[in-house]
Amino acid sequence: MAFESGWDRDRYKAGIIQDSQLTEWAKGPVQTHYPGYTSWSQLTDAEWEAMSYRSMNSLGFVGFQFGEALLIDLGYYKDDTYYGAGAATNTWDGTWTGKNGVNSLDDFMTKQAQTVAIQEAFGYNLQILQNQLGVYGKSLDDFIGQSRTYTQNGQQVTVTLSLTGILAASHLRGAWGTAALLLDNAVSTDENGTSILKYIEQFGGYESPSIEQLIARHEGRVVGDEGLGSLLLPNVEEPDSVTVEENPPEIPEVIAIVDDPPVTSGDGKTIQLAYSWGQFSTIDDFDPKENRIDFGSLPGADVLIEEVGSDLRITIKNNGGSGYLLKGIQAEDLSVASITAPAWNPVVTQGGGIGDQLRSLGATF
């Protein structure tokens, strides 16, 4: 919890974390929370722990780094505009459902509420991952225990995949980002530049309930207010079912990582979008009637589409400024045939995803 919230007492005592930072994360000076105190150093251990669950970073993530979208998924919260879907930060101006007795943000900023919610989140993310991997005839058991080497910022990084590391990675980058790592070796970072591999490594190898137990904890607490429905893959009717293709595509045991994935254009060709740190490509000859944009393993929260003058810019967020510029193209020029993604990735059709972004700019499909 100290790592997630920033309220690390050892680092505070060492002078790495300052009172001013704690005041910012607490959204007020120590006197606001504990009248009579003049410094955060006066907090007891119990008070320090309590503040870690109230900690809010600059983007509005709380405690265990809970955001609005995840709490909508878990059935705690409702809003039409939230971080990742029209809002620049977690504003917490929606409504609370009352799940588990949580009726406000203040109610949620407690150890009791967040301990339950993080367990639900683990099971929720695992269920999504199992569904996604199942499309390819795989499961988490096929990955756990493997040592895999990835390329990050031009450097080779080898990590051992464990259940607890995957749980932490899914909380950092979402189940979609973790599936992208496992299936496509796509290394991504959060808004602060923290790599998914850091979580895989730092939180790997701990004892944990089984995959089945964690999923059961989530399923046992579903209340019917779960708002985004992202447990469901396209054309999957039941959340606990897994569609396995008769001849799933092969996923090599050792996959070569390419820093700069090929970007092609021309008649009948596809522009393959992927995480490629700091790389920005300009496409001069994209033809919406002949070419397609494949969003690959990218989750909707990591893609920003904008019209810049007469051009269309696609930015891969939190990835060193990487993106693509389609010269002479506007959103209205694209059709549903112009965009695609793998069957397991709903980035095109999900709320706030590619389709919604393009329609907000004038696309008519």
Who's near 159: CB < 8 A, 6+ residues apart? 147, 148, 150, 165, 197, 200, 201, 204
Residue 151 has pLDDT above 80, yes or no: no
Residue 354 has pLDDT above 80, yes or no: yes
Note the pLDDT of residue 113.
Answer: 95
Radius of gyration of the chain (CA): 21
* Mean pLDDT (whole number) for 275-292: 83
Residue 318 has pLDDT above 80, yes or no: no
Q: Is residue 165 part of a domain?
A: yes
Q: How confident is the model at residue 27 (pLDDT cuts 50, 70, 90)?
A: very high
- Both structure tokens of 324: 């693509």
Q: Is residue 4 part of a domain?
A: no
Strands 311-316 and 323-326: antiparallel
Say yes or no: 96 and 60 in one domain. yes
Domain's final residue, options 70, 101, 132: 101
- Residue listed under structure tokens 């009172």: 19
205-259: pLDDT as tens digits = 888 889 999 998 888 776 655 554 443 333 333 333 333 333 333 322 322 223 3
Length reported for the chain: 365
Say yes or no: 145 and 96 in one domain. no
Q: Is residue 310 part of a domain?
A: yes
Mean pLDDT estimate for the chain:
81
Q: Is residue 252 part of a domain?
A: no
Say yes or no: 124 and 94 in one domain. no
Q: Is residue 241 part of a domain?
A: no
Say yes or no: 84 and 120 in one domain. no
Q: How far is CA 314 from CA 135, 239, 298, 311, 325, in A?
A: 27, 31, 12, 10, 6
Note the pLDDT of residue 3.
Answer: 63
Say yes or no: 63 and 121 in one domain. no
Residue 310 has pLDDT above 60, yes or no: yes
* Mean pLDDT (whole number) for 301-311: 89
Phi, psi of 150 (to 5 degrees): -120, 160
Say yes or no: 88 and 120 in one domain. no
Phi, psi of 323 (to 5 degrees): 170, -170
Say yes or no: 121 and 214 in one domain. yes
39-92: pLDDT as tens digits = 999 999 999 999 999 999 988 999 998 999 889 889 999 998 888 777 888 999
Q: Is residue 315 part of a domain?
A: yes
Q: What is the pTM of this model?
A: 0.64
**How many distinct structural domains can be found in the chain?**
3
Say yes or no: 204 and 286 in one domain. no
Say yes or no: 139 and 208 in one domain. yes
Residue 288: closest CA among 326, 237, 262, 317: 326
Q: Is residue 334 part of a domain?
A: yes
Q: Is residue 72 part of a domain?
A: yes
Domain that holds residue 121: 116-220
Residue 26 has pLDDT above 90, yes or no: yes
Say yes or no: 81 and 155 in one domain. no
* Mean pLDDT (whole number) for 120-126: 91
Q: Decide: 164 and 214 in contact? Cβ < 8 Å.
A: no
Residue 260 has pLDDT above 60, yes or no: no
Say yes or no: 129 and 85 in one domain. no
